[in-house]
């Protein structure tokens, strides 16, 4: 059973998200500017060569946003676990776009590098393992900051999504579907530097969940689709049919274009397995395209952002899943004067008032989420017949929909 305060917090979180889901936010660009906080340390761990690395991430937030809780999208860059950056062209446009849609978006770095040897299967798989450990630590970091530090980034810890491009796609897929230590390939030596701690790893923030609501894979692959089971995380897949870097289907993964590494299952094979086990997903095929075309082609970037917003918005707003392309629009930016929206008096005894013009509807909900009273076209409501206690008021005007807490005390 959830503790009462936790249950109340989760209910408030659900109501806030419900208020945000107006068909515009999370699906279109409702903010014109983004605030960037760079190089936030989320953990530390040992690299493949035994040296230590502080792990950093960049946080993108919508400028002027006044919502208390926002869904979080973490994005991991590509680079074959040898290069790439959290400031790369494969991830920054995605983070900026999702911040403008009203999300908190994060570009995360992870440990890079491998021990070069004749057989690359173990070193490359171990690099994926380190990336998975770091990705999980990043998820835990935000849940920890929400629980212990006053939630400085105002994220909703119940709505966290993980996306990745190329190598970042590998991380997202393995975070979701490599569920047990028993599934780790036998040729992986967990005694090698930076691999202790198993799948969760020791990159930081232990004691918090690393689970995510859904993942997005852009041109990555997984070690074995047999790891995907009914009830696993939903997935959005993007892949080019002419990908020369990561196989579209099941085939050998090559390093540097020539050195065989290990056979992997690309997005087409993952799609087949997801269909087989009944895991909800979308699959967008880049016909005739090579690796990560969204990096160099504006049309493919637009398609990627459109379908990503449909997919993630489906889970944020509980709307029907739409895997198709949709034209993104520039919505009405949330105005700074909305930040001053309040209920008064609060606590209230016999009535309360909303300091907003053109109120269309006021819904009063109890702590169980049930509507106990509503008012149309009025900014003042009589609550003299309500029992004392905590309530939530959903305020709907011509330009906004927000949920505010109300304490009734007779």
Does the domain at residues 336-408 carry the CATH identifier 3.40.50.300?
no
Superfamily of domain 4-317: Alpha/Beta hydrolase fold, catalytic domain (3.40.50.1820)
Q: What is the pLDDT of residues 223-264, one digit of tens each?
A: 999 999 999 999 999 999 999 999 999 999 998 778 899 999
Q: Answer for the pair 90, 295: CB distance below 8 angstroms, yes or no.
A: yes
Query: DSSP string of 340-377?
Result: G--EESSSBSSEEEE--SSEEEEEEE-TTS-EEEEEES
Walk across the sheet containing 389-397 and list its strands. 371-376, 359-365, 389-397, 401-408
- For 178, residues 6+ apart whose C-beta sits below 8 A from its C-beta are 132, 184, 199, 222, 223, 227
- Rg (Cα) of the chain, in Å, rounded? 23
The whole-angstrom separation of Cα 194 and Cα 46 is: 4
**For the chain, how far is it from start to end, CA to CA, in angstroms?**
30
What value does the mean pLDDT of the chain take?
90
**Going by DSSP bridges, is the β-strand pair 155-165/214-218 parallel, antiparallel, or unpaired?**
parallel
Q: What is the pLDDT of residues 142-183, one digit of tens each?
A: 999 999 999 999 999 999 999 999 999 999 999 999 999 889
Which residues belong to CATH 3.40.50.1820 in the chain? 4-317
Q: Answer for the pair 70, 60: CB distance below 8 angstroms, yes or no.
A: no
The whole-angstrom separation of Cα 212 and Cα 200 is: 13
Whether the per-residue pLDDT at 192 is higher than 70: the answer is yes
Phi/psi-derived region of residue 173, left when phi > 0, alpha when psi is between -120 and 50, beta in every other case: alpha
Average pLDDT (290-303) is: 94
Q: Answer for the pair 152, 59: CB distance below 8 angstroms, yes or no.
A: no
Which residues belong to CATH 2.60.40.3080 in the chain? 336-408
Q: Answer for the pair 200, 190: CB distance below 8 angstroms, yes or no.
A: no
pTM of the model: 0.80
| Count of residues making up the chain | 410
What kind and span of H or E run contains 20?
Answer: helix 4-20
Backbone torsions φ then ψ of 9, nearest 5 degrees? -65, -40
Please confirm whether the linkage preceding 103 is cis (ω < 30° from 0).
no
Whether the per-residue pLDDT at 334 is higher than 90: the answer is no
């Amino acid at each position: 059973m959830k503790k009462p305060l936790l249950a109340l917090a989760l209910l408030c979180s659900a109501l806030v998200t419900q208020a945000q889901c107006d068909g515009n936010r999370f699906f279109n660009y409702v903010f014109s500017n983004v605030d960037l906080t760079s190089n936030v340390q989320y953990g530390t761990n040992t690299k493949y060569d035994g040296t230590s690395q502080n792990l950093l991430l960049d946080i993108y937030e919508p400028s002027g946003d006044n919502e208390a809780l926002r869904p979080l999208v973490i994005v991991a860059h590509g680079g074959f676990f040898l290069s790439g950056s959290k400031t790369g062209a494969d991830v920054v446009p995605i983070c900026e776009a999702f911040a403008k849609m009203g999300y908190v978006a994060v570009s995360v770095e992870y440990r890079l590098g491998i021990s070069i040897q004749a057989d690359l299967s173990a070193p490359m798989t171990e690099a994926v393992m380190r990336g998975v450990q770091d990705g999980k630590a990043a998820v835990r970091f935000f849940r920890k900051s929400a629980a212990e530090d006053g939630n400085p980034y105002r994220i909703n810890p119940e709505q966290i999504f993980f996306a990745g491009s190329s190598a970042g796609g590998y991380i997202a897929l393995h975070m979701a579907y490599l569920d047990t230590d028993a599934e780790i390939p036998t040729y992986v030596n967990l005694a090698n530097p930076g691999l202790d701690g198993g799948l969760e790893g020791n990159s930081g923030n232990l004691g918090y969940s690393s689970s995510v609501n859904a993942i997005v894979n852009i041109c990555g692959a997984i070690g074995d689709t047999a790891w995907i089971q009914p009830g696993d995380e939903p997935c959005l897949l993007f892949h080019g049919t002419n990908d020369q870097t990561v196989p579209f289907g099941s085939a050998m993964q090559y390093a540097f274009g020539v050195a065989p590494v290990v056979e992997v299952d690309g997005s087409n094979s993952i799609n087949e397995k997801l269909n087989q086990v009944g895991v909800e997903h979308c699959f967008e095929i880049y016909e005739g395209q090579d690796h990560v075309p969204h990096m160099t082609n504006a049309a493919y970037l637009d398609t990627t952002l459109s379908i990503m917003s449909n997919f993630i918005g489906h889970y944020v707003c509980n709307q029907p899943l739409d895997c198709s392309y949709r034209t993104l629009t520039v919505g009405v930016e949330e105005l700074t004067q909305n930040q001053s929206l309040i209920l008064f008096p609060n606590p209230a005894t016999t009535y309360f008032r909303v300091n907003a013009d053109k109120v269309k509807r006021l819904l009063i909900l109890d702590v169980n989420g049930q509507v106990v009273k509503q008012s149309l076209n009025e900014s003042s409501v009589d609550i003299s017949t309500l029992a004392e206690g905590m309530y939530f008021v959903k305020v709907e005007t011509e330009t906004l929909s927000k949920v505010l807490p109300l304490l009734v005390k007779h």
